[in-house]
Amino acid sequence: MAFASINPASGKREAEFAAHDAAATEERLAAATAAAPDWATTPVAVRVAVLTRCAELLSERRETLAALATLEMGKLEREALAEVDKCGTAFSFYAQHAAAWLADEVISTDATRSLVARQPLGVVLAVMPWNFPFWQVVRFAAPALAAGNVGLLKHASNVPQCALALERLFADAGAPPGVFQTLLIESGDVARLIEDPRVRAVTLTGSESAGRAVATAAAGALKKSVLELGGSDAFVVLDDADLPRTLEVAVTARFQNAGQSCIAAKRFIVADAIHDAFVEGFAARAAALEPGRNLAPLARADLRDELHRQVVDSIAAGARCATGGEAVPGPGAYYRATVLYGVVPGMPAADEELFGPVAAVLRARDDAHALALANGSRFGLGASVWTQDAARGERFARAFESGLAFVNGMVKSDARLPFGGVKASGYGRELARDGLYEFVNTKSIWIA
């Protein structure tokens, strides 16, 4: 199999890379295994110096790297630049905090001396998606490498140039050979790698089905796994919300990156009193988005076709389309910004993840109904609530069945805060101190 870069804006095949065969994969796994002990005992100050250099190189290469993301998965230029810049903040964050968080924690017990030591696990396999081809990797790699682990990246097959650029970044930043490598392998090869005793843990960001497969393989091998899976984030608009501001944020929350984000707002649950005004304003703003200018294409044509199927099936079940609802004629995997309303549970737009520029609006009778609709999903990644009453908003935030809850703000990832979900959105946490501790052996040491 060859890994191809196909420009989703034109459908043109831009580059092709040969897959790593069994021998090449073994060579990289052996290199990672050999590098792990030395990297684990390398002083933290030296390890985080590599992260600092990564941040510097990202700044120097930001236009080149952003162009790769645009080429391979269709991201708008300004969004691609913002992604590269965000990666730099994560590297700098862990370079600043890792040493303190990894220091021995002395605990008073009946021993002469007792402490908690946090030691790296070894080789960690990362299975990553295409929608944020740099950020998704960095938010795993920065804490994992700071902690003394080494990484093997199995990236999505449609972003091979981004994957190889990340490998070069770490090497150029001073990471020793074997500390961070890319594997150009198929998804079917992942289970075999997880079973290999040299791989000590696995992390995946991706679909629910992929997560179940990786979790099953990791459980069978008794290995640590972290899963960040899909989402159908609720965007709850209460009757006292600042409607103009809420509408402006709603457009960004749904349509940035062409809606291809696990934490994008997807289900807009709106109080009955302002429902019609919200739909009218939301549809007008969505209709003004222009494919190719401020609305990116979907990453692949098959993703666009699946999204259209969900729209058609939802309309057939009784939903109404306020704007959009169709692919854009001509080259590229473009789909018009779409707003569906009259959506109720049982429709694909309410029950499935809409991974593209389609918003589903549900009407809520009151606060209790709004919360029930928000939590009535098998997903539980993020949720937001919009109200001018801070206490009312916090009550909703605490009641959401989600890993992230925002009041009057768009759900986003931030290196300073733990990131992850519950229910079918996965388990474990990335970022913050929690993300650093996911791939360490938290060891109690007792000395008489």
E strand intervals along 193-277 = 199-205, 224-228, 233-237, 265-271
The answer to whether 183 and 154 have CB atoms below 8 angstroms apart is yes
Terminal-residue alpha carbon distance, the chain: 58
For β-strands 320-323 and 379-380, DSSP reports them as unpaired
Q: Is 291 exposed, middle or buried (0-12, 13-18, 19+ CB in 10 A)?
A: buried
The answer to whether 207 and 183 have CB atoms below 8 angstroms apart is no
Place of tokens 């994992």: 144
Alpha helices in 2-43 (DSSP H): 22-41
CA angle, 329 as apex, 327 and 333 as ends, to 5°? 55
Q: How far is it, in rounded angstroms, from Cα 37 to Cα 141? A: 17
The answer to whether 314 and 343 have CB atoms below 8 angstroms apart is yes
The answer to whether 263 and 278 have CB atoms below 8 angstroms apart is no
| Residue 167 is a catalytic residue | no
Among 54, 87, 162, 262, the active-site one is 262
Q: How many other β-carbons are positioned within 10 Å of the β-carbon of residue 115? A: 16
Among 83, 228, 352, 353, the active-site one is 228
Q: What is the rounded (10 degree) CA torsion for 340, 269, 430, 255?
A: 30
| Residue 394 is a catalytic residue | no
> What are the catalytic residues?
228, 262
